[in-house]
Amino acid sequence: MASQAAGRGSGPLDRQLRERAAQVIPGGLWGHQRASALPEGYPQFFRAGDGCRVEDVDGHVYIDLMCSWGPIVLGHRHPGVEAAARAQRDLGDCLDGPGEVLVALAERLVTTLAHADWVTFQKNGTDATTACVMIARAATGRRKVLVARGSYHGSAPWCTPLMAGVTEEDRCHFLPFDYNDPDSLAQAVAQAGDDLAAILVTAFRHDLARDQEMPDPAFAQAARQLSAERGAALIVDDVRAGFRLDLRGSWAALGIAPDLSAHSKAIANGHPLAAVTGRDWLREAATRIYVTGSFWCSASAMAAALATLTELHRVDAPRQLERVGQRLRDGLSRQAQAHGLSLRQSGPPAMPMLLFDDDPGQRLGSLFCQEALRAGVYLHPRHNLFLSLAHTEADIDAVLAATDGALAAAAAARRAGVA
């Protein structure tokens, strides 16, 4: 980092860039990284990343607990990953066909992911979830796909959370159920009848602004059993959770093998890549669908993924992420109690969600995050956070030093009745 100035938030260069951006980009920015959807004071533009720290364009440095919304699992600019990507790029990246690394990475994923017999690659998580749906439909000759209410599976017309620009027909074959509710799932299966192509579930329940839930074993079993009984595919959307909870796939510990799974985000530590993995009975269908993209065979992101997977295995990433996540959770829990605040911490420690009781609209949560930001910690009031391997115990303690003051400010605001 050029500068080590801790925290603060949006500065003069950030504000100037926002004004310029507002002229040439609708709303200043699209999608999940729009600062306008964050509490006031959050910077929109970033200059650099290093390990578990990011630096905004004004030189303010934050300990990063968003990890670029998931892709960064080893820390920003991990030397081994960057060296592997660069070595590949120095030969060639986007060529007339893939490189040898395509085969090596596909073999690695088939070995790594318990259920996987084969792999295909894409760029976006949405590419992967969409391909899963298409493969399931091609294999079964059926149309209905069951999706949990509130689950995020990407931003194509069939799944994007907002309905602007989406037609009714884009959604007409997607039937809702409630996550972790086997009865609701069984009803949706019955509703689909003999047109059931797939049941699509996120690895755990990680909806926006809601306590996270690990998959209930009975629910997961029901999803597996109902899809098998009906000859439909069980698709686990592991885009967000993948490679943080279990390197064998997030449902492996439940003893459940999905038929298809979608991966992206952490797969290449920030390099653009996605993957679909599947079981043999869907292999032929996967050859019949036509999905492709100009950069899907590019070799440097695959070299990055291979290096990322090697390192994740070497350090037993899930265990270490859980350990630092638990240290954060324990510390926050003690602090919240000391300040008299009811802080709910849900989901896996490696991907925590922080929500306060009696906090509609996350007004208190936003104030807490703003205070933490000023003190040098980048959090999110409504979305799950992400830990990385670059977060050491000392970094977590530095986070806790900042959150103690932020929780004190939040408690004062609550006492004063302003949040």
**Least distance from a second copy to the Cβ atom of residue 113, Å:** 11
Please answer whether residues 131 and 119 qualify as being in contact, where contact means their C-beta atoms are separated by less than 8 angstroms. no
Instruction: Pick the closer one to a second copy by CB: 45 or 251.
Output: 45
Instruction: Pick the closer one to a second copy by CB: 170 or 216.
Output: 170
Q: At what angle are helices 299-314 and 317-338 packed, to 10 degrees? A: 70
- Read off the amino acid at residue 321: L
**Least distance from a second copy to the Cβ atom of residue 270, Å:** 4
**Least distance from a second copy to the Cβ atom of residue 185, Å:** 22
Q: Residue 226: how many CB atoms within 10 A of its CB?
A: 21
Instruction: Pick the closer one to a second copy by CB: 106 or 220.
Output: 106
**Least distance from a second copy to the Cβ atom of residue 64, Å:** 6
Please answer whether residues 130 and 106 qualify as being in contact, where contact means their C-beta atoms are separated by less than 8 angstroms. no
Instruction: Pick the closer one to a second copy by CB: 163 or 190.
Output: 163
336-340 contacts at long range (C-beta below 8 A, 24 or more positions apart): 336/407, 339/407, 339/408, 339/410, 339/411, 340/411
For the chain, the farthest-separated pair of C-alpha atoms sits apart, in whole angstroms, at 64
d(CA 115, CA 261): 9
Query: Which residue's structure tokens are 């602004």?
Result: 209
Question: C-alpha 343: how far from its chain's center?
Answer: 22
Instruction: Pick the closer one to a second copy by CB: 154 or 347.
Output: 154
Instruction: Pick the closer one to a second copy by CB: 265 or 329.
Output: 265
Please answer whether residues 280 and 134 qualify as being in contact, where contact means their C-beta atoms are separated by less than 8 angstroms. no
Using the CB atoms, write b or e for 143-159: b if 16+ within 10 Å. Answer: bbbbbbebbbbbbeebb
**Least distance from a second copy to the Cβ atom of residue 121, Å:** 8
The length of the chain is 419
**Least distance from a second copy to the Cβ atom of residue 55, Å:** 8
**Least distance from a second copy to the Cβ atom of residue 415, Å:** 31
Cβ-based burial of 353 (10 A; exposed 0-12, middle 13-18, buried ≥19):
buried
- Mapping DSSP onto H, E and C, the string for 72-137 reads CCCCECCHHHHHHHHHHHHHCCCCCCCCHHHHHHHHHHHHHCCCCCEEEEECCHHHHHHHHHHHHH
Instruction: Pick the closer one to a second copy by CB: 31 or 360.
Output: 31
**Least distance from a second copy to the Cβ atom of residue 184, Å:** 24
Instruction: Pick the closer one to a second copy by CB: 89 or 323.
Output: 89
Reduced to 3 states (helix: H, G, I; strand: E, B; else coil), residue 61 is strand
**Least distance from a second copy to the Cβ atom of residue 262, Å:** 12
Instruction: Pick the closer one to a second copy by CB: 36 or 342.
Output: 36
